[in-house]
Amino acid sequence: MIAALWVIALAQGGAPVVTASVDRTRLGVGDALVLTIRARTRSPQPLKFTLPALPGFAIIATHEVSDVSLAGGVGAAMRTTVRQLTLRADGQGRVERSLVVQSKHNLTFGLMWISARLDGLAALRDGGRVEEEAPRFLKPRTYLEPFALRALGVVREDVALVEKALSRFEALGLDWHAAETRKLLQPI
């Protein structure tokens, strides 16, 4: 499924290259920082940013600019979209690195990356990293919740968590992922 989505993305001009930066890494309550997100793609379609929750921060200003460069001809057009957000620290929190970028066809590259990473860490039985990364995606009825449940179930060898992941995949209509999860529940 993931490979098929990447093929579609490449056919649309390739997956965007996304970078994010902040103008400072430490601040106190009430201080502001600027988060800059830059996405570059050869796709002619505009990109839409979907940001994760920013607990502990309030967005006080936002600015977005898109630029299309035709250097090298129409077929070599490069679209650059930059969004700057000025955030104020309202309490303890941190900016998560799970930025999602969507094309007009709503391919969510950030979600694909996160779900593939959780699957990979589980396959490697990397319990430390799964335990560190998966809990933040355990938000009920979200796309990433069943991936996090499955990864935790695999590294903890907890059948109940894998069964819960299967139930969530089925509820979301993610049939292929549900079938792959069922395989984990079959005796060897």
Q: For the chain, what is the domain count?
A: 2
At residue 166, the pLDDT reads 96
Measured at the alpha carbon of residue 114, what is the angle toward residues 5 and 111, in degrees to the nearest 5? Answer: 50
Q: Are residues 95 and 151 located together in one domain of the fold?
A: no
CA atoms within 13 A on the CB side of 104: 7
Structural domain boundaries enclosing 155? 109-185
At residue 52, the pLDDT reads 66
Q: Are residues 88 and 162 located together in one domain of the fold?
A: no
At residue 186, the pLDDT reads 85
Q: Are residues 118 and 181 located together in one domain of the fold?
A: yes
pTM of the model: 0.47
Contacts of 45 (CB under 8 A, 6+ apart): 12, 13, 103, 104, 105
Q: Are residues 138 and 85 located together in one domain of the fold?
A: no
At residue 6, the pLDDT reads 38
pLDDT beneath 50: ranges in the chain: 1-12, 94-109, 188
Q: Are residues 141 and 91 located together in one domain of the fold?
A: no
* Dist CA 123 CA 166 (whole Å): 17
At residue 24, the pLDDT reads 73
Q: Which of 48, 76, 102 is the last residue of a domain?
A: 102
User: Measuring CA to CA, which residue among 14, 22, 42 is closest to residue 109?
Assistant: 14
Q: Are residues 89 and 121 located together in one domain of the fold?
A: no
What does residue 32 show for φ and ψ, rounded to 5 degrees?
Answer: -115, 155
Q: Are residues 128 and 156 located together in one domain of the fold?
A: yes
Per-residue pLDDT of 14-38, as tens digits, reads 566 777 777 776 777 788 888 888 8
Q: Are residues 6 and 93 located together in one domain of the fold?
A: yes
Q: Are residues 15 and 98 located together in one domain of the fold?
A: yes
**What CATH number is given to the structural domain containing 67?**
2.60.40
Q: Are residues 97 and 11 located together in one domain of the fold?
A: yes
